[in-house]
Chains A and B, each alone.
Chain A
Amino acid sequence: MAGAKEIRTKIASIKSTQKITSAMEMVAASKMRKAQDRMSASRPYADKMLQVIHHLAQATPEYRHTFMATERPRKRVGYIVVSSDRGLCGGLNSNLFRRLSAEIKEQQAAGVEPVFCAIGSKALGFFKRFGGKVLAQATHLGDTPHIEDLIGTVKVMLDAFEAGEIDAIYVASNEFVNTMTQRPEIRQLVPIAPAEKPEEALPYHWDYIYEPDAHTVLDALLTRYIESLVYQSVVENVACEQAARMVAMKAASDNAGNLIDELQLVYNKARQAAITQEISEIVSGAAAV
């Protein structure tokens, strides 16, 4: 009967694990919905800002901000790596890091030195293991990241760019395709790529009235624009994290269910064997009398 008892405790422990994973799945599902809402809420800001920047670029062609300047030869590039703070979200972070290390190898082969900026503790942990120069970090942003928490981190990178220490800045984060799919993406942040679609020529020439002047306005705008892009990736990454966790936890709960079914069969067999043995012992005992 000892075997049966062992199996029973095993089943009980798997059941409690299953309870935890299914609770985590439900929590992740509700958090994901909120994160998706936040993701769409942050879009209009960046869109509007891009509109204004395009207007400005058209209106004052003589002033080129360093962020919009043409490409310069690359010796060092910066990566802002956006990851989650917590694990148990499937292959989300490891996929991103794999994509990143492939990219880094490529860059190093081309003689470009990468520097990093880590957002989220998983990224920081990765660079601790992987090595690499981390200029700045921001961790424990929680489920509702605020732009305040990112200003400093982004500024470190932008300052380095302006000082000519790095020649380009990329953002590596997960793109939210749908609940089942998240794709690791590396996008160029600075220098800002020129508008893809050629703007339709305006019927007449016009310009803004600037207050205080074009440069100040453009500087402030571009910094905010870049911050908002980073913020967007962070929010998107939160949505990815929750989606990935939901899927991973669902798989874990299903696996636990299968395991319990299998163990239940084994347990029933063991119990039946014990009973049969007992009966045969009694019968043979009675026959002997």
Chain B
Amino acid sequence: MAMTIHVDIVSAEGAIHSGQATMVYASAEVGEVGIAPRHTAFISRLKPGDVRVENEQGEQEHFYVSGGMLEVQPNVVTVLADTAIRAANLDEAAAQEAKRRAEEALAGQQAGFEYAKAQAELAEAIAQLRAIEKLRKTKRS
């Protein structure tokens, strides 16, 4: 029997995969990594991309993660997947949005509300598009 390593892929909204594998591939921040059983302890951020899990039958399962963390212990691989598209500027935009909403709701002002909301939504959409574009570029290269 081939040596195996336990793989857990979890996201904040639920467990995605759990099982034994002979090899795990993931796109870490500095490049693609392959994890074999008894790999040394290793921790890295993940780029958006594929996580491939090869089981004992030699079949590969693909999971798309939009980023996250990869933790490797000699017998366990843990992928903490993000469910959201994360980028510093996107997070910042979300924070601004949350602040603005609070101020607006407490001030109770309605004037210009629709316009401001539309503007914020537009900004958010643009930021998201930019992130997606970036993701595509990094994937291609």
Contact = CB atoms under 8 A, between A and B. Distances in A.
Contacts of B108: 128
Contact of B80 (A52, A118, A153): A52
B125 interface: no
Contacts of B23: none
A136 B80 CA distance: 27
Contact of B44 (A38, A48, A134, A210): A210
18 contacts: A48-B10, A52-B43, A124-B102, A127-B106, A136-B101, A137-B98, A137-B101, A137-B102, A146-B83, A148-B83, A148-B85, A152-B95, A153-B94, A159-B95, A209-B43, A210-B44, A212-B30, A217-B44
B5 to A, nearest CB: 15
Most A C-beta atoms less than 10 A away, residue of B14, B44, B69, B80: B80
B110 to A, nearest CB: 14
B40 A209 contact: yes
A141 interface: no
Contacts of A209: 40-43
A153 B98 contact: yes
A110 interface: no
Interface string B23-49: 000001110000000001111110000
Contacts of A151: 84, 86, 91, 94-95
A136 B102 contact: yes
A66 interface: no
Contacts of A153: 94-95, 98
B98 A138 contact: yes
Nearest to A217: B43
A211 B30 contact: yes
Interface stretch (A219-227, A248-256, A259-267): A219-227
B2 interface: no
A188 to B, nearest CB: 20
Nearest to B96: A152
Contacts of B14: 38, 41-42, 45
A157 to B, nearest CB: 9
A203 interface: no
Interface of B: 8, 10-15, 28-30, 40-45, 69, 71, 78, 80, 82-86, 91-99, 101-102, 105-106, 108
A135 B30 CA distance: 37
A48 B80 contact: yes
Contacts of A152: 91, 93-99
A224 B42 CA distance: 19
Nearest to A47: B10
B24 to A, nearest CB: 15
Contacts of A52: 43, 69, 71, 78, 80
Nearest to B93: A152
A207 interface: yes
A137 B97 CA distance: 9
B91 to A, nearest CB: 6
A156 B95 contact: yes
A41 B13 contact: yes
A63 to B, nearest CB: 13
A127 B95 CA distance: 20
Contacts of B98: 136-138, 152-153, 155-156
B41 A207 contact: yes
B10 to A, nearest CB: 5
A60 B45 CA distance: 17
B95 A155 contact: yes
B102 A224 contact: no
Given A135-B102, A151-B94, 12 more contacts: A45-B10, A45-B80, A52-B71, A151-B86, A152-B96, A206-B41, A208-B42, A211-B30, A211-B42, A217-B43, A224-B12, A231-B13
Interface in A125-140: 127-128, 134-139
